[in-house]
């Protein structure tokens, strides 16, 4: 009897560590910002490595606004570059539509406004909705070392928040008509921007929020569910390039949220799987797919234990704000990925 009780307590303790006390996915090792010692990236055909062992964690407070650029895309025109200090220029622009919703896309490390994350999502958004799509380009910073980009997240988020506040003031907008989507480090920039406006944004979508150097205990420099009225997170390279623990109101784990994702082969460094978050999201905007079930774990999902639990769709417009908790799904092995 004592042995059975000990086994039961051990299982209960392990479950608490893995899923937390709210039934959410929780990995204690993600409290350690140095849990991932190196980040890998492609430079042409070469794979390069950056050592994070001695990385500083103190955020930069000197981000020049000139290091950032905003591009506006609408059905009336595209790639209209905005002077972030001259919000009044939008008044005379034939592209900006004050009556429409406002959607901001923020790329991650080693990307720019021309990167696939932006082009895929922008195209899908404008195919389905008549909205203002702003793409934040912070490539002058993001093109450098990961540690430099990491330390700039809060500062870039602050500049973005200032622009959003100015936009709302200039056009007398409801700030709840503003939504953000960010990939990798861009997800955390979105979170910092949302926090700077006191969590009043309509929603934020975090696409595989970056994992290296971020920790669960420090919500100041990362995406958190307090950063908007609703925060949806899509995990695809959790435990490697991305975070694996739940950090939003609703967290979606396609194929358990870990690499390798379908279409990525072995994907030893997780770069392809990390990108699949925005591939799935952009597809979700134009197709009826990616049905997910509320469940305590991927194993229970695969065993059919959660077959009658709440069903929600990853991504999409309008976003499913009724979702709460962790959602699991399997994707197709090739595009279209939504089943």
Distance CA 48, CA 42 (A): 6
Chain-centre distance for alpha carbon 165: 21
Decide: 296 and 19 in contact? Cβ < 8 Å.
yes
Nearest to 196 by CA among 157, 166, 169: 157
With H, G, I as helix, E, B as strand and everything else as coil, classify residue 238.
strand
Distance CA 203, CA 199 (A): 9
Considering 139, 274, 275, 320, which one is annotated as catalytic?
274
Backbone angles phi, psi at 302, to 5 degrees: -65, -30
Considering 115, 152, 184, 215, which one is annotated as catalytic?
184
Residue 105: its H or E element: strand 102-106
Nearest to 211 by CA among 182, 232, 188: 188
Q: Is the dihedral of CA 289, 295, 297, 302 positive or negative?
A: negative
The total of other beta-carbon atoms located within 10 Å of residue 139's CB is 20
Considering 137, 208, 227, 251, which one is annotated as catalytic?
208
6 is written with which tokens?
A: 């000990």
Which residue shows structure tokens 């905005």? 82
SS3 content of the chain, % helix, strand, coil (to 5): 35, 20, 45
User: Is residue 208 flagged as an active site residue?
Assistant: yes
Annotated active-site positions, please?
Answer: 184, 208, 274
């Amino acid at each position: 009897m004592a042995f059975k009780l000990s086994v039961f307590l051990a299982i209960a303790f392990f479950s608490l560590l893995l899923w937390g006390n709210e039934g959410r996915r929780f990995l204690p090792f993600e409290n350690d910002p140095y849990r991932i010692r190196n980040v890998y990236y492609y430079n042409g055909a070469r794979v390069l490595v950056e050592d994070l062992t001695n990385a500083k964690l103190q955020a930069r407070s000197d981000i020049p606004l000139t290091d950032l650029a905003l591009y506006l895309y609408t059905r009336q025109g595209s790639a209209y570059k905005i002077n972030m200090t001259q919000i009044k220029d939008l008044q005379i622009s034939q592209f900006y539509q004050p009556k429409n919703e406002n959607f901001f896309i923020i790329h991650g490390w080693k990307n720019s406004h021309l990167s696939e994350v932006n082009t895929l999502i922008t195209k899908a958004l404008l195919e389905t909705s008549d909205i203002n799509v702003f793409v934040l380009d912070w490539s002058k910073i993001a093109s450098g070392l990961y540690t430099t980009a990491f330390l700039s997240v809060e500062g870039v988020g602050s500049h973005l928040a200032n622009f959003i506040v100015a936009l709302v003031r200039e056009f007398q907008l409801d700030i709840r008509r503003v939504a953000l989507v960010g990939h990798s480090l861009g997800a955390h920039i979105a979170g910092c921007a949302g926090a700077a406006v006191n969590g009043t944004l309509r929603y934020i979508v975090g696409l595989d929020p970056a994992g290296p150097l971020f920790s669960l205990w420090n919500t100041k420099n990362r995406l958190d569910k307090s950063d908007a009225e609703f925060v949806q997170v899509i995990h695809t390279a959790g435990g490697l390039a991305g975070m694996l623990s739940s950090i939003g109101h609703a967290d979606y784990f396609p194929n358990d949220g870990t690499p390798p994702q379908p279409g990525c082969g072995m994907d030893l460094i997780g770069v392809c799987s990390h990108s699949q978050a925005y591939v799935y999201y952009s597809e979700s905007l134009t197709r009826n797919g990616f049905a997910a079930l509320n469940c305590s774990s991927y194993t229970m999902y695969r065993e059919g234990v959660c077959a009658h639990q709440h069903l929600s769709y990853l991504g999409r417009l309008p976003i499913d704000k009724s979702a709460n908790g962790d959602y699991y799904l399997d994707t197709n092995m090739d595009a279209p990925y939504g089943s």
